[in-house]
A and B are shown apart, each in its own frame.
Chain A
Amino acid sequence: MRDFQFHRPSTVAEALHLLRQASAGKLLGGGQSLLPVLKLDMAEPSDLVSLSGVTELRGIRTEGNQLIIGAFTTHAEVAASAEVRAKIPSLARLADGIGDPQVRNRGTLGGSLAHADPAADYPAAVLGLSATVHTDRRTVPADRFFTGLFETALEPDEILTAVRFTIPQRAAYAKFASHASRYAVVGVMVAQYPGGVRVGVTGAGPSAFRWTAAESALTARFAPESLAGLTYPADDLTSTPEATADYRAHLLPIMTKRAVQTALG
């Protein structure tokens, strides 16, 4: 790992200032993705600006039909939160299935989303649970946040501050996990709202996406049978030695069905 200047500010404003002063600054969340990247010299920041001291980025609260989670909230905190368990239990369970207990104790919601790993779990929740991503300067709807492989709508000097999830009538996340890493080979968040059903998919493609055909079918009737005969073109999906695009296309309707079954209880 190359050396860098380290900063631990206590406010978002101070963090922004430090980031702009640096020649090649990078924000540090829980470090569960960034530190492995730095060890491989795949990133060589001049400065790391840690957000661990910024208390305004922490916490979980409800406002009307929205559940708001601060960017620096860890996966373990989301999984254990009585508020999350009561309002969106599927989100608590999703967080409890990320990586392993030690990763969940350090890794953060904001860090995971800013990193935008194509196989991370949270992107499926952000898309499925009709979320908006809040930053120091604007609000980005879920549909415009993930722009490509490890790419998001965030500017280099922009800080993700919180995510507002819309509380669904019912929802469930089903993941076919990699046996080695527990990352999603295919992960699907299905959520039912009065206005329709949303289906957020992670792991399958270069970045998370919504499966709109499944959304229409499930909006017409929220039942596993509604997905009968529905397929997703493998051309748009990822092929790796672990799982080919055809295999991921095979898994996608299956995991969607499982999520619907779980949501129905």
Chain B
Amino acid sequence: MSRVTLQVNGKQVSVVVEPRTLLVELLRDKLQLTGTHVGCDTSHCGACVVHVGGRSVKSCTMLAVEADGATVTTIEGLAQGGKLHPMQESFHQHHALQCGFCTPGMIMSAIELVETRPHADEHETREWLEGNFCRCTGYHNIVKAILSCRDAMREKSA
């Protein structure tokens, strides 16, 4: 067994896990943060995307022990003081979900896009979503929501 100490959504946590435990298992089973989903468990679908050190990763393809000392943000950590993150708000406004299963991963992935590539156009946005599957095929509104949030964030920083 290994002890893993990490910061999750601003809180310091320390848990003992088997070395083979995946980061997503630590989040869902040990910390009850079930907003992060497991879709394929083969690193294709992106339902499990969280941020580790500010970068999006597939938490089904990272060992929990590798997150020792890291800062992790999940979908539960986005809203501040009861106020949704602009990306969550934009997904809500544009009805960027159908069944909603892929939504947490989509939002975590989209946030890294607008933070690291604020000038991404529609084409680049669609390419960025390469690793996030929406099996309802609701990509159109997802892309609209991301582009709208990108514009709002750009105006805010201008």
Task: Please report which residues of chain A, range 180-196, place their CB below 8 angstroms from some CB of chain B when the two chains form the complex.
Answer: 181-182
Which chain A residues border B61 with CB–CB below 8 Å?
A: 31-32, 35-36, 102, 106
Is there a chain B Cβ closer than 8 Å to A156's Cβ? no
Contact A102 B20 (CB under 8 A): no
- Per-residue CB proximity of A62-78 to B under 8 Å, as 1/0? 00000000000000100
Q: Does B2 contact A (CB under 8 A)?
A: yes
Count of interface residues, chain B, beta-carbon cutoff 8 Å: 28
The answer to whether A103 touches B68, judged by C-beta atoms less than 8 angstroms apart, is no
A105 close to B (CB within 8 Å): yes
The answer to whether A5 and B63 touch (CB under 8 A), given A36-B42, A36-B43, A102-B46, is no
Interface membership of A100, Cβ < 8 A: yes
Q: Is the CB of B56 within 8 A of A3?
A: no
Tell yes or no: B62 within 8 A of A by CB: yes
**Do B43 and A101 have beta carbons less than 8 Å apart?**
no
Residues in chain A near residue B132, CB distance under 8 A: 100
Query: A137: CB under 8 A from chain B?
Result: no
The answer to whether B55 and A103 touch across the interface, beta carbons within 8 angstroms, is: no
Residues 75-116 of B at the A interface (beta carbon under 8 Å): 109, 112-113
Count A-side interface residues using an 8 Å CB cutoff.
27
Please determine whether A103 and B43 come into contact, CB atoms closer than 8 angstroms.
Answer: yes
* Bitwise interface map of B from 55 to 67 toward A, beta carbon under 8 Å scored 1, else 0: 1111001110110
Q: Which residues of B, 24-45, contact A by the 8 Å Cβ criterion? A: 41-44
Tell whether A32 pairs with B18 under 8 Å between CB atoms, given A8-B68, A102-B49, A102-B56.
Answer: no
Assuming the A-B contacts A1-B20, A35-B43, are A101 and B68 also in contact, with contact meaning beta carbons closer than 8 angstroms in the complex? Answer: no
Count contacts between A and B, CB distance < 8 Å: 75
Is B19 a contact of A48 with CB atoms below 8 Å?
Answer: yes
Q: Which residue of chain B has its CB nearest to the CB of A107?
A: B61
**In the complex the two chains form, what is the Cα distance from A74 to B51 in whole Å?**
16
Distance A28 CA – B109 CA, assembled complex (angstroms): 24
Interchain CA distance A27-B131 in the complex, whole Å: 25
Q: Is the CB of A32 within 8 A of B43?
A: yes
A101 touches B63 (CB 8 A): no
Within A34-50, the residues touching B (CB, 8 Å) are 35-36, 38-39, 48, 50
Give CA–CA (A99, B61) in the complex, Å. Answer: 13
Contact B131 A99 (CB under 8 A): yes
- How far, in whole Å, are A103 and B61 apart by their CA atoms in the complex? 9
Closest CB in chain B relative to A233 CB, distance in Å: 33
Residues of chain A with a CB closer than 8 A to B46's CB: 100, 102
Contact A4 to B66, CB < 8 A, known contacts A36-B43, A105-B55: no
Is residue A139 contacting chain B, with contact meaning CB distance below 8 A?
no
A2 to B62, CA, bound (A): 15
- CA distance in complex: A16, B43 (Å): 29
Q: With A31-B61, A31-B62, A102-B58 known to touch, is A3 a contact of B130 (CB < 8 Å)? A: no
B20 x A182 contact (CB < 8 A): no
Residues in B neighbouring A106, C-beta threshold 8 A: 57-58, 61-62
A150 on the B face (CB < 8 A) = no
Q: What B residues does A8 contact at CB under 8 A?
A: 65-66, 68
Q: Which single member of B20, B22, B57, B109 contacts A3 (CB below 8 Å)? A: B20
User: What does the 1/0 interface line of A97-117 toward B look like (CB < 8 Å)?
Assistant: 001111101100000000000
Q: Which 7 A-B pairs have the closest CB atoms?
A: A100-B131, A6-B19, A100-B130, A105-B55, A1-B20, A102-B58, A3-B20
Q: Could you show 6 A-B contacts with beta carbons less than 8 Å apart?
A: A28-B63, A31-B61, A35-B43, A36-B42, A48-B63, A102-B61
Name A residues whose Cβ lies closer than 8 Å to a Cβ of B.
1-6, 8, 28, 31-32, 35-36, 38-39, 48, 50, 52, 76, 99-103, 105-106, 181-182
**19 more A-B residue pairs beyond the given contacts A50-B66, A101-B56, A101-B109, with a C-beta to C-beta distance below 8 A:** A2-B20, A4-B20, A5-B19, A6-B2, A31-B62, A35-B22, A35-B43, A35-B62, A39-B42, A50-B65, A99-B131, A100-B46, A102-B46, A102-B109, A103-B43, A105-B56, A106-B61, A181-B44, A182-B130
